[in-house]
Amino acid sequence: MSQEKYHQDLDVVIPDPGWRSLYRAAGAGAIIVVGFMLLDIGLSFAGEDVAIGGMTAVDWFAYFQTNWFLGLRNFGFFNVVNTTLTIPLFLALSWIHRKTAPAYAAMALILFLSGAVIYDANNRALSLLALSDQYAALPAALPVAAETDAQRNLLAAAGTVILAQAEDFTPGTFLGFFFNNAATILMMLVILRGKIFRTWIALAGLVGSVCMLFFTISATFIHAIFALAMGVVILGGLLMIVWYLSTAVGMFRMAGSSATSSQAEPVQLATTGKGLSTR
């Protein structure tokens, strides 16, 4: 068939071969996201986290010079990568559910894209790294010349502005996180309604995304329950890993069914109750 169609009697979907590359990109992106999430969790357990709002701009400059990779990670660059890689997945899910919940699927996609643009454009990890290099390159000999001292103060001021705008889990980054969390919750509800994927997969993603939203709000505005929020976000992260992996399997199998649709062979999705009809 030339277009993806829903069988009138069975809750199945016939994928358009033209969307095969998108499904593959969505699946590959989801797997890479899982890799970054596991790395992030491992670094957290290794004690590599930085306290939110606990360092000045000059402290960040020194931190970047000590380990630029951890500096980028702790200033949210992993989130930039993960958010960007998730865009194909949301586009594919929105397309797949355009018949069962068109308005909400489109709304979830728009919310996620808005959150991605806001967060990615607002993240200043690379800018802070560049300022750190400039700060470290200034003459370190004593006594400090007045001109060099003024340059240090200027770079420190620029870094302070960046911290106010872009440090993770501060009011400056809340909107991007909130849009992404809200979009994910809405998409999970769309998946539950569509019944193309197994219910437990959507429920795992729904609970995980709610945990992520709880952590975002509490870490940003309710510091008194931060310890509780950390436990919640670990649970949420593990559930989201399950969701990403399961959905990636579904994307790859949908891409495979697109490739074999001309042979009219039924393909069973691991993530769906009824499978894909290719006839």
Q: Is residue 181 part of a domain?
A: yes
Q: Which residue has the higher pLDDT, 54 or 36?
A: 36
Q: Is residue 277 part of a domain?
A: no
Q: Is residue 161 part of a domain?
A: yes
Give the residue-averaged pLDDT of 113-141. Answer: 91
| Structural domain total, the chain | 1
- Give helix 57-66 / helix 146-166 axis angle, nearest 10°: 90
Q: Is residue 279 part of a domain?
A: no
Q: Is residue 119 part of a domain?
A: yes
The pLDDT tens digits of the residues spanning 38-74 come to: 999 999 999 999 988 889 999 999 999 999 999 999 9
This prediction's pTM: 0.84
Contacts of 243 (CB under 8 A, 6+ apart): 201, 202, 204, 205, 208
pLDDT number for residue 143: 56
Give the residue-averaged pLDDT of 5-26. Answer: 62
Q: Which residue has the higher pLDDT, 236 or 279?
A: 236
What torsion, rounded to 10 degrees, do the Cα atoms 59, 64, 67, 73 define?
Answer: 100
Q: Is residue 14 part of a domain?
A: yes
| Chain centre distance of CA 49 | 18
Give the domain range for residue 153: 5-263
